[in-house]
DNA sequence: TCGGTTATGCTCAGGATAAGTATAAGCTAG
DNA sequence: CTAGCTTATACTTATCCTGAGCATAACCGA
C-alpha cells in the first residue's frame, strides 16, 4: 500500500476522484426536529468539495453562514461514504461523499434561499416514539420484518435475522434503543422494505411508510440523527438548537424531539440544574398555559470551565 | 451548492482530487499498545484509495488481511482530513486522507512484510499515566504550557490559554481525562511544542519528548487513540485485541494499556462478570507467579444477544 | 514454614437514578 | 369568585451503581 502510493503519486492522477460535501443541518422548532432539504425535499444540501478553505469544517461553516446569514453553532464531521451501488446510479461510482452534521435555528434562515426545513420524522416515521409506537407502523413493520426473517434459507439464518430485527427494533419485549437509527435503516434496506432498496435492485417486498431521498442521502441523515441522539447525552449540544432564553419545559421538549421519546420531567430538571448548565434570566415566560415558568439561558461558561458531561436522558418508562 | 454541483459534474472533473487511505492498526502485546508503522516507524500505513471494493471498509479489510494473513477483527472509520498546510507539504494540498481504525493481534503478522509494530506511547509519552505522571514530563510540560499561555497578548487571552491547557492536561488539581488525546496533541501543536509545528512554520519553542511522524500522521494516530479509549467504555472491543483465552488480569492489563491508567481490580472483575462478557474455559493459566488464574474466553454470543454496553473503566484513584 | 504474589469472594458507604407525592401559581368557564 | 384545568417546582423514597477496602485462597521459592 505504501509502495503503491509512491508509485501512483509519481505517475500522477491514477486515482483521481471527485468529492462532495453533504450537510445534515438540524434545527428544532416548536418541539419538532427539522432538517434543511433541497430538490423538493428529496435531498440534503450538497455540493462539490472546495479546497479554498483551510479545512473541510471551516469550508462548510462559511458556506452555511453565507446561505443562512446566521453563524452555524456546532459542526462535526459525520462520515465519508463511498459505497458503490448505493448512490442510485452505479454509473459514476468514482465519487465520495463527505458528510457533516450542523446545528442551527430555523428562524434565522436568509431570504431568497431555495432550501426548506422538513420534519425529520417524515423520513423516519418509525423513529418517533414520543406518542408511543406509531399505530400505523406497529403491526405492519413487525410482520414485514418477520416475513423477511422467515424468507432466509436455513433455520439458523432465519433465527439470526429475527434476532437482529428484534434487537434493533425493540421487539419481543426488548428495550427500544433510540441510538440505533442507522442500524434500523440498514436493516430495512437489506430487507427491501424501503424505496431505496427497490431502486438499487434489492429484491423488494411491499414498502413501508417514510419518505425516500435521492442517492444515499437518507442513510446519511440516519447517521446524523444517530450521532445527535448519542451526543446530547454527553455533550450540551441541545443548547445550540435553543433560542437565547427558554423555559425548562421547552428545553425538555427539544431533547424529547431529538431522542424520539419522553423523559421524566422532574429528574430532567434535577439533572440540568445540578450540572449548572443553565442560569435564570430573571424573566418569566409570557403567554403560556398554566403556571408561568422561569426563563433560563445557557451558561456558556461551562464549556470553558470543564470537560462536561451533557444531559443523559432520564427516560420515563410509561 | 447543489446547483454548483450539477454544473461541475456536467463540465467534468473541475473538482478532481486524490484520496488516500491511512490506517491506525492497533494490537496489544504484553500489556503494551502497539501500532503498525512503516517508513522506519515514522509513518502510518497508507496508500491510494481504490474503488475496486464495494465500500471503503471492505477495501481496507481485505488489504490488511492480505498483508497480515489474519482477519481484521474490527474496523471503523476515523476521520477524513483535508487541512492545508498540515501535511508537511503545502505544495500538494488537493489530497484528502480517509483514516481508519483497525484492531488486530501482533503475533499473526505475515512473513516478508516491511511493517513494524511500535509502542504507541513512543509517540505520545504524556499519554501513559499507568506509572503515575511520567517524571521526565511532569515539570517540563507544565512549565512550557505556562510559558505559552503567558506569551499571549492580552490578559484574558492568557487566562483562556491556561484554562484550556489546565483542562486538557489535568493541571491545577483538575482530573486527567484520558479521552482528550487529540485535544492535547492539537494544543501542543498550537503551542509549538512538537516537531510537526516547527515543520509547519508555527513559531517554535523548545520541543518536548515524543517521536514525530510524517505529514499529519501523528494527528491521525491521536484521533485513533482517543476513539479507542472512548470505545472500550461502551463496546466490548478489547476482546478483538486479546488471544482466544486469557486471564482476567491480562484483560485488565490490556484495558489499562489502552486507557493509559490503572483500574480497580475487583471492581473491574465485577463489571466484566456481571455483564456476562466472558465465560470460563475450564483451563488454568500455566507458568504464572502467585495463585494460578482461571482462563476465560469472550462470549461472542453477547454481540448478537443485545446491544451491549462495554467496560466503563472502574478507575482507581490511588 | 514464612513471605511474596496473584486470585477471588464479600462488605459497606455514598451517590446517582427512577418514580412518585405534594404544593404553588397561573388561566378560564361557569 | 371559585372549581377545575394546566404547568412549575420542591421533596421524598426505594433501589441500583460505584468506589474502596478487607479477608481469604492458592501458588511459588527461599
Q: Across residues A44-60, what is the average pLDDT?
A: 76
Q: What is the residue range of B6's domain?
A: 2-121
* Residues of chain A neighbouring B80 (CB-CB closer than 8 A): 56, 77, 80, 98
Cα–Cα distance between B122 and B197 in angstroms, integer? 18
The confidence score (pLDDT) of residue B108 equals 57
Distance A267 CA to C17 C1' (A): 8
> Does the C-beta of B271 come within 7 A of strand C?
no
Closest CB to B94: pick one of A48, A51, A180. A51
Average pLDDT, rounded, for chain A: 84
pLDDT-derived band at A89, boundaries 50, 70, 90: low
Classify residue A117: in a domain, yes or no.
yes
Whether B40 and B96 map to the same domain: the answer is yes
Q: SS3 string of B69-121?
A: CCCCCEEEEEEEECCCCCCCCCCCCCEEEEEEEEECCHHHCCCCCCCEEEEHH
Q: Which nucleotide is nearest to B263 (CA to C1')?
A: D19
Summarize the confidence of residues A202-208 as an average pLDDT: 77
In Å, how far is A207's CA from the nearest CA of chain B?
25
Q: State whether the beta carbon of A318 lies below 7 angstroms from any atom of strand C.
A: yes
To the nearest whole Å, the CA of B10 is away from the closest chain A CA by 12
B225's grid cell: 487513540
Please tell me which residue of chain A has the smallest CA distance to B309. A177
Q: Find and list the nucleotides of strand C having atoms within 7 Å of a protein beta carbon.
A: 4-11, 17-21, 24-27
Q: How far apart are CA A268 and CA A255, in angstroms?
A: 10
Residue A84 Cα, gap to closest chain B Cα (Å): 5
Classify residue B222: in a domain, yes or no. no
State how far residue A314 is from chain B, nearest Cα, in angstroms. Answer: 17
Contact A179, A225 (CB under 8 A): no
User: Which chain B positions have a beta carbon within 8 Å of A304's beta carbon?
Assistant: 160, 163-164, 167
CB of B265 nearer than 7 A to strand C? yes
Asked if B46 and A2 touch (Cβ cutoff 8 Å), the reply is yes
Task: List Cβ neighbours of A19 (8 Å cut-off, separation of 6 or more).
Answer: A48, A49, A95, A96, A97, A98, B15, B17, B19, B96
Banded pLDDT at A23 (limits 50, 70, 90):
very high
Indicate the number of domains in chain A.
3
The answer to whether residues A20 and A111 belong to one domain is yes
C-alpha cell at B95: 489530497
Contact between A106 and A27 (Cβ < 8 Å)? yes
Residue B291, CB, strand D, below 7 Å: yes
Whether residue A225 lies inside any domain: the answer is: no
- Is residue A289's beta carbon less than 7 angstroms from any atom in nucleic acid strand D? yes
In a domain, A241, yes or no: yes
Residue after which a domain boundary falls, among B171, B193, B210: B210
CATH value at residue B56: 3.90.79.10
- Looking at beta carbons, which residues of chain B come within 8 Å of A79? 77
Contact B2 A167 (CB under 8 A): no
Helix, coil or strand: residue A292: coil
| Residue B183 CB in 7 A reach of strand C | no
Higher pLDDT, B231 or A65: B231
> What phi-psi label fits residue B87: left (phi over 0), alpha (psi between -120 and 50 degrees) or beta?
alpha
In sequence order, the 6+-apart residues with CB closer than 8 A to the CB of A267 are A314
Residue B165 included in any domain: yes
- Nearest chain B residue to A90, by CA: B54
Kindly report the CATH number assigned to the domain that includes residue B274: 1.10.10.10
Report CB contact under 8 Å: A54, B84. yes
Nucleotide nearest to A266 (CA to C1'): D9
Q: Kindly indicate the confidence band of residue A303, based on its pLDDT and cuts at 50, 70 and 90.
A: confident
Contact A180 B307 (CB under 8 A): yes
**Other Cβ atoms closer than 10 A to A244:** 10
Asked if the Cβ of residue A163 lies within 7 A of any atom of strand C, the reply is: no
Chain A residues lying within 8 Å of B42, measured CB to CB: none
CB-closest option in A39, A50, A168 to B2: A39
The whole-number pLDDT of residue B260 equals 95
pLDDT tens-digit series, residues B243-300: 999 999 999 999 999 999 999 999 999 999 988 999 999 999 887 788 899 999 999 8
Q: How far apart are CA B288 and CA B285, in angstroms?
A: 7
So what's the pLDDT on residue A202?
Answer: 81
- The helix (H) or strand (E) run that includes residue A47 is strand A46-48
Of A121, A138, A167, the residue at which a domain comes to its end is A121
Among residues B121, B145, B163, the one where a domain terminates is B121
Q: Which residue is nearest to nucleotide D11 (CA to C1')?
A: A266
Residues B25 and B82 both lie in one domain? yes
Residues A90 and A164 in one domain: no
Same domain, B152 and B112: no
Where does the pLDDT of residue A85 fall: very low under 50, low under 70, confident under 90, or very high at 90 and above?
Answer: low
Q: How far is A229 from chain B (nearest CA, A)?
A: 15
Min Cα distance A15 → chain B (Å) is: 6
With CA of B266 and C1' of each nucleotide, the nearest comes out as: C8
The answer to the question of residue B53 being in a domain is yes
Same domain as A191, residue A264: no
Question: A with B: how many residue pairs have Cβ under 8 Å apart?
Answer: 136
User: What pLDDT is stored for residue A7 in this prediction?
Assistant: 34
| A292 CB-to-strand C distance under 7 Å | yes
- Cα-flanking dihedrals φ and ψ of residue B70, to 5°? -150, 130
DSSP per-residue string spanning B108-177: GPPTT---EEEEGGGT-GGG--BTBS-HHHHHHHHHHHHHHHHTSSSHHHHHHHHHHHHHHHT-TTPPP-
A7 and A109 part of one domain? yes
Structural element, H or E, at residue A24: strand A16-29
Q: How confident is the model at residue B76 (pLDDT cuts 50, 70, 90)?
A: very high
**Strand residues in A138-232 grouped as ranges (E):** none
Distance A120 CA to D6 C1' (A): 29
Contact B51 A17 (CB under 8 A): yes
DSSP lists the bridge partners of residue B28 as: B33
pLDDT the model gives residue A296: 95
B266 sits within 7 Å of strand D by its CB: yes
The answer to whether the C-beta of B316 is closer than 7 A to strand D is yes
Q: Which of B38, B54, B84 sits opposite A2 (nearest CB)?
A: B38
Residues shown for chain B? 318
**Backbone conformation region of residue A302, classed left if phi is above 0, alpha if psi is from -120 to 50, else beta:** alpha
Q: Are B262 and B177 found together in one domain?
A: no
Q: Looking at the partner chain, which of A8, A56, A94 has a beta carbon nearest the beta carbon of B48? A: A8
Asked whether the beta carbons of residue A47 and residue B307 sit closer than 8 angstroms, the reply is no
Report whether pLDDT(B175) > 70: yes
Range from A279-288, B78-87, B140-149 carrying the lowest mean pLDDT: B78-87
C-alpha angle A243-A247-A251 in degrees, rounded to nearest 5: 70
Query: Mean pLDDT over all residues of chain B?
Result: 84
Average the pLDDT over each of A233-237, B270-274, B309-313 and give the range with the smallest value: B309-313
- The alpha carbon of residue A39 is apart from the nearest alpha carbon of chain B, in Å, by 9
A175 lies in a domain?
yes
Same domain, A81 and A178: no
Q: What is the pLDDT of residue B10?
A: 30
| Residue B84 vs residues A66, B115, B163: alpha-carbon distances, Å | 22, 28, 28
Nearest nt to B289, CA vs C1'?
C5
**With a 7 Å cutoff on the CB, does A281 touch strand C?**
no
CA B259 / C1′ C2 distance in Å: 38
d(CA B94, CA A51): 7
- Both A9 and A107 in one domain: the answer is yes
Q: Please answer whether residues A16 and A9 qualify as being in contact, where contact means their C-beta atoms are separated by less than 8 angstroms.
A: no
Would you say residue A224 lies in a domain?
A: no
The answer to whether residues B104 and B164 belong to one domain is no
- In this structure, is the CB of residue A130 within 7 Å of any atom belonging to strand C? no
Whole-number Å distance between alpha carbons of B306 and A156 = 17
Nearest to B80 by CA among A82, A84, A183, A11: A82
Question: CA of B55: which chain A residue's CA is closest?
Answer: A83
Q: How confident is the model at residue A91 (pLDDT cuts 50, 70, 90)?
A: very low
Amino acid at each position: 500500500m505504501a509502495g503503491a502510493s509512491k508509485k501512483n503519486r509519481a505517475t500522477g492522477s491514477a486515482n483521481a476522484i471527485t468529492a462532495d460535501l453533504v450537510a445534515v443541518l438540524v434545527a428544532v422548532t416548536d418541539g419538532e426536529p427539522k432538517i434543511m432539504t433541497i430538490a423538493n425535499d428529496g435531498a440534503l444540501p450538497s455540493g462539490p468539495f472546495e479546497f479554498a478553505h483551510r479545512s473541510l469544517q471551516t469550508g462548510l461553516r462559511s458556506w452555511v453562514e453565507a446561505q443562512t446569514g446566521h453563524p452555524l453553532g456546532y459542526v462535526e464531521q459525520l462520515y465519508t461514504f463511498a459505497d458503490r451501488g448505493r448512490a442510485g446510479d452505479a454509473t459514476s461510482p468514482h465519487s465520495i461523499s463527505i458528510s457533516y452534521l450542523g446545528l442551527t435555528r430555523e428562524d434565522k434562515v436568509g431570504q431568497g434561499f431555495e432550501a426548506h426545513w422538513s420534519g425529520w420524522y417524515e423520513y423516519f416515521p418509525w423513529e418517533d416514539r414520543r406518542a408511543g409506537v406509531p399505530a400505523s407502523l406497529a403491526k405492519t413493520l413487525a410482520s414485514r420484518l418477520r416475513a423477511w426473517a422467515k424468507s432466509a434459507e436455513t433455520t439458523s439464518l432465519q433465527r439470526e435475522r429475527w434476532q437482529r430485527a428484534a434487537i434493533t427494533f425493540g421487539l419481543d419485549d426488548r428495550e427500544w434503543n433510540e441510538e440505533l437509527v442507522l442500524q434500523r435503516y440498514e436493516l430495512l434496506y437489506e430487507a427491501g422494505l424501503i424505496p431505496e432498496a427497490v431502486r438499487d435492485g434489492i429484491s423488494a417486498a411491499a414498502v413501508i411508510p417514510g419518505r425516500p431521498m435521492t442517492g444515499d442521502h437518507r442513510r446519511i441523515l440516519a447517521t446524523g440523527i444517530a450521532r445527535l441522539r448519542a451526543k446530547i447525552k454527553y455533550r450540551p449540544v441541545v443548547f445550540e438548537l435553543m433560542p437565547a432564553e427558554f423555559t425548562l419545559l421547552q428545553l425538555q421538549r427539544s431533547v424529547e424531539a431529538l431522542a424520539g421519546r419522553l423523559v421524566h420531567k422532574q429528574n430532567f430538571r434535577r439533572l440540568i440544574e445540578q450540572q449548572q448548565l443553565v442560569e435564570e434570566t430573571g424573566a418569566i415566560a409570557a403567554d403560556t398555559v398554566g403556571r408561568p415558568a422561569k426563563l433560563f439561558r445557557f451558561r456558556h461558561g461551562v464549556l470553558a470551565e470543564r470537560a462536561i458531561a451533557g444531559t443523559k436522558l432520564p427516560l420515563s418508562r410509561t
